[in-house]
Amino acid sequence: MPPKVWKTLSSREVYRNPWTRVREDIAELPNGKQTIYGVIECAECVAVLPFVNLDEVVLVRQYRYVFGENQRWEVPSGGIKPGETIETAAQRELREEVGYHAGRLTQVSTYYPSKSIVRETGHLFLGHDLTRAVATPDETEFFEISIFPFAQALQMVVDSEIRDSMSVILILHAARLRKNTT
């Protein structure tokens, strides 16, 4: 039997910017007690692992402010803009971050990057049949772009060199799918 649902008694916005909303809720637990619950809301997001050929992928590296890091590689990813489909957002992020268009996008997963306090849904794609496009990064994006053998990207996940959940999950899905086709 599934756990009983919590009841939201009140909710107040604590903070908002164009990308994030933070709210504080008072919830009633199944036993009748109340608890405070902080929730961070983000737009849905997409990520694409672009294959330039059967055995090589394009990854990006950028400064990640939250962790103060600039050495980790990741897949092209970003938020879905209002009115965009997930496929349109995936193509836009691919173009913005690495300068490619995918002739074929294959969705491999939809998941929650965090299941407790962050309300966000991620949609993961493999990109194939790439053609060059003009890269158009947002004004806050500064990228290094490189092509890696897929085996190296997978090893970077295994060695925890690649750590963000979208990249890790996407590369592991790609490895699973590649294993099933060989």
Average pLDDT score over residue span 22-44: 96
Output the pTM of the full model.
Answer: 0.91
pLDDT for the residue numbered 99: 94
Calpha distance 19→28 (Å, rounded): 28
Using N-to-C axis directions, what is the helix angle for 165-180 and 150-158, rounded to 10°? Answer: 130
Q: Are 103 and 128 in contact (CB under 8 A)?
A: yes
Q: Which tops the pLDDT comparison, 180 or 173?
A: 173
C-alpha torsion 175→142→88→16, nearest 10: 110
Mean of the per-residue pLDDT values of the chain: 93
Q: Which two tokens stand for residue 71?
A: 């050495």
Residue range 43-180 in CATH 3.40.50.300? no
Residue 181 clears pLDDT 90, i.e. is over it: no
Please name which of 70, 76, 63 lies closest in space to residue 147, comparing C-alpha atoms.
76
pLDDT for the residue numbered 138: 72
Calpha distance 22→118 (Å, rounded): 9
Q: How many helices (H) and strands (E) does the chain have?
A: 3, 11
Q: Are 42 and 63 in contact (CB under 8 A)?
A: no
Given pLDDT bands bounded at 50, 70 and 90, which one contains residue 182?
A: low
Give the model confidence (pLDDT) of 55-86 as tens digits. Answer: 999 999 987 888 888 889 999 999 999 999 99
Lowest mean pLDDT segment, chosen from 61-70, 79-88, 108-117, 146-155: 61-70
Could you tell me which residues are beta bridge partners of residue 11?
25
Lowest mean pLDDT segment, chosen from 72-86, 126-140, 160-174: 126-140
pLDDT for the residue numbered 142: 76
Q: List the alpha helices (DSSP H) in 19-109.
A: 86-98
pLDDT for the residue numbered 141: 72
Q: Which tops the pLDDT comparison, 5 or 136?
A: 5
pLDDT for the residue numbered 108: 97
Domain-wise residue ranges, the chain: 7-41, 43-180
